Amino acid sequence: MNEEQRKQQAQINQEANFDRIKNTSSDDMISKYFQTNYEPQSPDIKKARKRRKEDVQFHYDFSIPEDVATVGKGKKFLIRTYGCQMNEHDTEVMAGILTEMGYESTSNTEDADIILLNTCAIRENAENKVFGEIGHLKPLKLEKPDLIIGVCGCMSQEESVVDRILKKHQHIDLIFGTHNIHRLPQLIKEALFGKEMIVEVWSKEGDVIENLPKVRKGKIKAWVNIMYGCDKFCTYCIVPMTRGKERSRRPEDIIQEVRHLVAQGYQEVTLLGQNVNAYGKDFEDIQYGLGDLMNDIHKIDIPRVRFTTSHPRDFDDRLIEVLAQGGNLLDHIHLPVQSGSTEILKKMNRKYSREDYLELVRKIRKAIPNATLTTDIIVGFPNETEEQFEETMTLMEEVGFEAAYTYIYSPREGTPAARKTDDVPEDVKKQRLYRLNELVNKQSAESMKKYDGQTVKVLVEGESKKDPDVLAGYTEKNKLVNFKGPKSSIGNIVEVEITEAKTWSLNGIMVENTVEVN
Ligand code: SAH
Ligand code: SF4
Ligand code: F3S
């Protein structure tokens, strides 16, 4: 690192408004923890809403400090990832950093010298899974005192979680949040050379750190983050608090990353953001949104481009117009609706009504007639009535969603909805989920039937999980296809004739000589 870079790094650290807690005894740790001016990370909606005033800074100067550059030589790491694609992608970044430090990856817990749990806070059961895993790792830590166990991701941004780990899970060595992944080398050094638990969670809403190393999970499909954070503040959702404010990467950085992926032979990119179509709204110097970005990526020679997740409110005409060009811009749109009831949508702060959503669907279908829509739905929002739930069922049918991720509402501490009393019993919520899932399965099976006997284009990802003699890949509309074909087709787009349609996947036979060479 040269002098200028060092200064910039010092500035990032100072501005970041973070605190580190280092202690030896547990009592000491807890009291000191509260004595430091560590700002509560527990969701504070009032504070979070004031976010827009602060500037976002871009940093292009990431490097691994020399004194830790070889610390991982001969050692192994394992990262367990929970939650959404954003976390999957953060894991790729952490794997990149650890690899640059000399660590090798392992999938065997016993072999690992460092284990990171990249956590998700979206629902209570996501958090329970992580606490279960933290408990399971205790005997291993007792056996291998030099093992470093770290907790990162969205749960680390919650004060209650940090408290619980400090009080009850002393075998954890390191806690860090979603805004300071790039500090991993320094944090590992502190965890290695100190005997105390290291907690570094930044309350700052986050900058954009470019040029972080990545070890991607696959060589065929890649995630590309185009923005971070969320400013939508749906009343049930923890994400605006765990991921900070919306901030977009500069178009040139994204385009460069996509070009680089093309040069490496990638066939598909998925542009990522919690609210991906708010992309560019935070730019002050240029008028450039997701439509413009997709239009630029449309010109790049990559066969498939997807994006997720879009919010109905920000799905503008420009984006529709650009998507209508087709080509590498695929016509599968994941558009979470959450509920079919205007009253519930209002209580959720989704900022659209049932009619607005249906109107948007009409607009999309007019411009892109073959568009496939999938969605996310929450049942059992506080005080949801039977009639309101029925409206979700009818919307599901009216739109003709081909798939849906469905969830029972889970109260998240610090969110407005969690403060509401709720008169819907748990078993009623479960029944509603069951009924909705029956309908989702029916609609998915019907949409699959249409492909029977047809020929579809499949990006071949590898052998099927169940049978190594069968290959597996996805269609343009993201349907899983298992089929017979030569292994040489892996990594290519081929044509497959569908011979059987199941509820969630298709079976088929590859049409000979159809490999698209890129
Ligand atoms: N940013 C995306 C989705 C983020 S989380 C969007 O707004 O579309 C993925 C899904 O989890 C959400 O779409 C929602 O359906 C669900 N979800 C979020 N918070 C939840 C909660 N408290 N309880 C149950 N489901 C929740
Ligand atoms: Fe959460 Fe998505 Fe709403 Fe943002 S837009 S608050 S991530 S559900
Ligand atoms: Fe979970 Fe955080 Fe993603 S809460 S869904 S991992 S943004």
DSSP string, 137-158: THHHHHH-TT-EEEEEEGGGG-
pLDDT of residue 43: 53
Does the structure show a pLDDT above 50 at 210? yes
41, 120, 238: which to mutate for ligand 3, most atoms within 8 A of CB? 120
List pocket residues of ligand 3, CB cut-off 6 Å. Answer: 83-84, 86-87, 120-122, 153-154, 238-239, 242-243
Q: How far is the CA of 511 from the centre of ligand 2 (A)?
A: 42
Given the candidates 3.40.50.11820, 3.40.50.12160, 3.40.980.10, 3.10.690.10, the CATH classification of the domain at 3-207 is 3.40.50.12160
Q: Is the pTM of this model over 0.85?
A: yes
Bond prior to 106 in cis (omega within 30° of 0): no
pLDDT of residue 39: 42
Residue 349 CA, closest ligand 2 atom number: 3
Does the structure show a pLDDT above 70 at 115? yes
pLDDT of residue 22: 35
Query: Quick one: DSSP state of residue 299?
Result: T
Q: How confident is the model at residue 484 (pLDDT cuts 50, 70, 90)?
A: very high
Q: What does the alpha-carbon distance between residue 63 and residue 96 come to, in Å, rounded to a whole number?
A: 12
Q: How far is the CA of 275 from the centre of ligand 2 (A)?
A: 7
Q: How confident is the model at residue 49 (pLDDT cuts 50, 70, 90)?
A: low
Residue nearest to atom 8 of ligand 1 (CA): 336
Minimum mean pLDDT among 52-61, 192-201, 263-272, 502-511: which range? Answer: 52-61
Q: Where are the domains of the chain?
A: 3-207, 208-449, 455-510
DSSP, collapsed to helix, strand or coil, labels residue 250 as: coil
Question: Which of residues 482 and 196 earns the better pLDDT score?
Answer: 482
pLDDT of residue 515: 66
pLDDT of residue 1: 43
Q: What is the pLDDT of residues 277-311, one digit of tens each?
A: 999 999 999 999 999 999 999 999 999 999 999 99
Q: How far is the CA of 192 from the centre of ligand 3 (A)?
A: 28
Residue 274 CA, closest ligand 1 atom number: 1
DSSP, collapsed to helix, strand or coil, labels residue 515 as: coil
Q: How far is the CA of 274 from the centre of ligand 2 (A)?
A: 7
Listing DSSP states for 306-361 in one string gives EEE---GGG--HHHHHHHTT-TTB-SEEE---B-S-HHHHHHTT----HHHHHHHH
Residue nearest to atom 7 of ligand 3 (CA): 239
pLDDT of residue 175: 97
Q: How far is the CA of 234 from the centre of ligand 2 (A)?
A: 6
Q: How confident is the prediction for the chain on average, in pLDDT?
A: 90
Residue pair 155/108 in contact (Cβ under 8 Å)? The answer is: no
Q: Is 236 in the pocket of ligand 1 (CB under 6 A)?
A: yes
Crossing angle of helices 386-399 and 354-367, rounded to 10°: 10
Residue nearest to atom 18 of ligand 1 (CA): 237
Residue pair 407/367 in contact (Cβ under 8 Å)? The answer is: no
Q: Which long-range contacts (CB under 8 A, 24 or more apart) does 512-515 make?
A: 515/488, 515/489
Minimum mean pLDDT among 191-195, 244-248, 394-398: which range? Answer: 191-195
pLDDT of residue 286: 96
Q: What is the pLDDT of residues 314-372, one digit of tens each?
A: 999 999 999 999 999 999 999 999 999 999 999 999 999 999 999 999 999 999 999 99
Contacts of 246 (CB under 8 A, 6+ apart): 227, 228, 229, 230, 231, 275, 278, 281, 282
Q: What does the alpha-carbon distance between residue 178 and residue 201 come to, in Å, rounded to a whole number?
A: 8
pLDDT of residue 27: 33
pLDDT of residue 47: 61
How is domain 208-449 classified at the CATH fold level? pyruvate-formate lyase- activating enzyme (3.80.30)
Per-residue pLDDT averaged across 64-74, rounded?
93
Q: How confident is the model at residue 55 (pLDDT cuts 50, 70, 90)?
A: confident
208-449 and 455-510: same fold? no
pLDDT of residue 335: 98
Residue nearest to atom 1 of ligand 3 (CA): 120
Minimum mean pLDDT among 203-217, 426-440, 459-473: which range? Answer: 203-217
Q: What does the alpha-carbon distance between residue 407 and residue 257 come to, in Å, rounded to a whole number?
A: 34
94, 127, 154: which to mutate for ligand 3, most atoms within 8 A of CB? 154
Percentage of the chain with pLDDT > 90?
85
Does the structure show a pLDDT above 90 at 109? yes
Does the structure show a pLDDT above 70 at 217? yes
Q: Is 309 in the pocket of ligand 1 (CB under 6 A)?
A: yes
Work out the number of other CB atoms within 10 angstroms of the CB of residue 317: 10
Ligand nearest to the CA of 407: 1
Q: How far is the CA of 232 from the centre of ligand 2 (A)?
A: 6
Q: Is 378 in the pocket of ligand 1 (CB under 6 A)?
A: yes
**CATH code of the domain occupying 455-510:** 2.40.50.140
Per-residue pLDDT averaged across 244-257, rounded?
96
Q: Is 239 in the pocket of ligand 2 (CB under 6 A)?
A: yes
Q: Is 417 in the pocket of ligand 2 (CB under 6 A)?
A: no
Q: How far is the CA of 192 from the centre of ligand 1 (A)?
A: 37
Q: Is 232 in the pocket of ligand 2 (CB under 6 A)?
A: yes
Q: How far is the CA of 92 from the centre of ligand 3 (A)?
A: 15
Does the structure show a pLDDT above 90 at 205? no
Per-residue pLDDT averaged across 492-517, rounded?
89
Ligand nearest to the CA of 309: 1
pLDDT of residue 48: 62
Residue nearest to atom 5 of ligand 2 (CA): 232
Q: How far is the CA of 114 from the centre of ligand 1 (A)?
A: 31
Q: How confident is the model at residue 206 (pLDDT cuts 50, 70, 90)?
A: confident
